[in-house]
Amino acid sequence: MKFFVDTAEIDAIAELNDLGMVDGVTTNPSLIKKSGRDIIEVTKEICAMVSGPVSAEVTATDAETMIAEGRKLVEIAENIAVKVPLTWDGLKACKTLSDDGHMVNVTLCFSANQALIAAKAGATFISPFIGRLDDINLDGMELIEDIRTIYDNYGFNTEILAASIRTVNHVLDSARIGADVITAPPAVIKSLANHPLTDKGLATFLDDIKAADIKIL
């Protein structure tokens, strides 16, 4: 499974990238706003740091302007994936940009039917939002399962990019089902290393090291 980090914070990306934990990055207008940086400037810096796909989202809602914005965004770097919303205009933009040879991440997916038509439109990635479905008492993992089944049935090349990841269980369940990619905030990715029994065992070892006055250096 590939790990994308969902942030526009350069320091957070760099820390995870140094550990080999970053296969790509996803951004959106909210994350760009949080970073306080210019979208072109910060996206260029991220693309220079990360070799994998970097999703940069359009701001328009009509197909013609989305296509124009997408073409501007891909000039930033070769690893840009243009992020478009799963609307009819977004699908039109997806088809045009993918036909041009650009990576496209179709976002805000909440149904398997949406994922099906995004794949038909040539999406490189489909981003089903797990956490937001959970927020309205629907099982986001059932959506990942349905998309996996449909894509496998027909051999679609579109990669399932599980998004709106809130917990480590979301990551685990996505991996079990077979999502190709997860995108998560840095804190969630780092928390994958945590376990209370690891903490308890380490505390015991440290007590024994102190008691035995063990030194290596």
Predicted TM-score (pTM) of the model is 0.94
The CA distance from 42 to 24, in Å, is: 15
The CA distance from 44 to 47, in Å, is: 5
Q: What is the mean pLDDT of residues 129-152?
A: 97
Q: Catalytic residue numbers? A: 83
Name all domains of the chain by residue range, CATH numbers in brackets.
2-212 (3.20.20.70)
| pLDDT tens-digit readout, 30-44 | 899 989 989 999 999
| 161: nearest Cα among 121, 104, 113 | 104
| pLDDT tens-digit readout, 2-27 | 999 999 999 999 999 999 999 999 99
Which CA distances in Å does 49 have to 11, 29, 74, 120, 185? Answer: 11, 20, 16, 32, 17
DSSP state of 37: S
Q: How confident is the model at residue 192 (pLDDT cuts 50, 70, 90)?
A: very high
